[in-house]
Amino acid sequence: MNKQSNIKVLDVTVKAVFADMRLDKFLSKHFVEYSRSRIKSLIIEGSVSNGEFEVRDASYCVKPGQNFIITIPALKPAKPVGQKINLNVIYEDEDLIIIDKPAGLVVHPAAGNRDKTLVNALIAHCGNSLSGIGGEMRPGIVHRLDKDTSGLLVAAKNDTAHHGLAKQFADHSVERAYKAVVWGAPKFESGVIKGNIGRNPRNRKKMAIVSRGGKPAITHYRIEKKLEVGGIVWASLIECRLETGRTHQIRVHLTSLGNPILGDPVYGSKRINKQKNNISEDFKESLQLLNGQALHAYLLGFTHPISGENILFESGLPPEMAAVIG
């Protein structure tokens, strides 16, 4: 398998017992995961060779000792289509649209989520009025939020707007703030978390603060509210403002303080397993309402890429997060 392009290469050598068998029949007997019609198509397309030249005749009779190589091209993902999915549109003009994304909605199609994404909803809502800079799988998408993170996201409706917005995200001039409900409370009421973020060396599916490599990341935090029961602070509502925008930045930084986000299946599972026998029934019930990590992108501000106007949008806490913190 070619990992970079997902092209699969198969090979087989003809034994004497298969002498003079049709090539398509011979290959389909050896590679049963592919139908004979699929094998025939690959032969006609020139994807089968004998090491010297392509064999495009499915009726070619194989000879003992011959080696055949099949190159299975990567499947091209289908171009996303519009799907009627309810959108909470905060603002819209001819150049851009602001969406308040619910937790659980994937932003763009990818492996495992080919449809029912925000992109599918945007295509249905905006038609062909979306920028094409991000490619046909990500029309209009300038930035993203994790599937289980809710909140404000801007999409571009033309390439000029996309360029202007992308530049602001790149130079960190976009104002972004999040609210998170975390386990316990940080030691200090406010502070700055710094640390390069890269792949966790022990688990490549996770991010972590790393001592070597990674990308610089800075998060400013402030405690807004504490949930205290019986003299114990079970949870806190934290405001986070970003200087950088790294993958899982807030989730990783808050975990580094010892205060992972409630409901976070990747970075917070150890904490809930440790505490689940001690927390109250009411708190347990509110935790079950969460669709994922209790993280909400509540503030988004930037300079309108066409008009030059400074605009700022805010979004209230989703009901499930508000229920947890009380």
Helix intervals (H) in 211-289: 249-256, 269-275, 281-288
From residue 83, alpha-carbon distances to 87, 93, 111, 114, 297 in Å are 11, 21, 18, 12, 24
In this structure, what DSSP letter does residue 17 have?
G
CA distance 26 to 8: 19
pLDDT at position 113: 76
Residues of the chain above pLDDT 70, percent:
93
CB-based contacts of 17, cutoff 8 Å, min separation 6: none
**Percent of the chain scored above 90 by pLDDT?**
63
Of 80, 88, 93, 99, the C-alpha closest to 157 is: 93
pLDDT tens across the length of the chain (326 residues): 444 456 788 999 999 999 999 999 999 999 988 888 889 989 998 899 987 789 999 999 999 999 999 998 876 667 888 999 999 999 999 999 999 999 999 998 877 778 899 999 999 999 989 998 888 888 999 999 999 999 999 999 999 999 999 999 989 899 999 999 999 999 999 999 999 999 998 888 899 999 888 899 999 999 999 988 778 888 999 999 998 889 899 999 999 999 999 999 899 866 555 555 566 677 777 777 787 899 999 999 999 999 999 999 999 999 999 988 87
Q: How far apart are CA 165 and CA 95, in angstroms?
A: 11
Tens of pLDDT, residue by residue over 55-111, are 999 999 999 999 999 998 876 667 888 999 999 999 999 999 999 999 999 998 877
What pLDDT is stored for residue 126 in this prediction?
94
Catalytic residue among 95, 146, 148, 264: 146
β-strands 203-209, 197-200 pairing = antiparallel
Show Cβ contacts of residue 121 under 8 Å, excluding neighbours closer than 6 positions: 82, 83, 84, 85, 86, 87, 105
Catalytic residue check, 146: yes
Report which secondary-structure segment, H or E, holds 225: strand 218-229
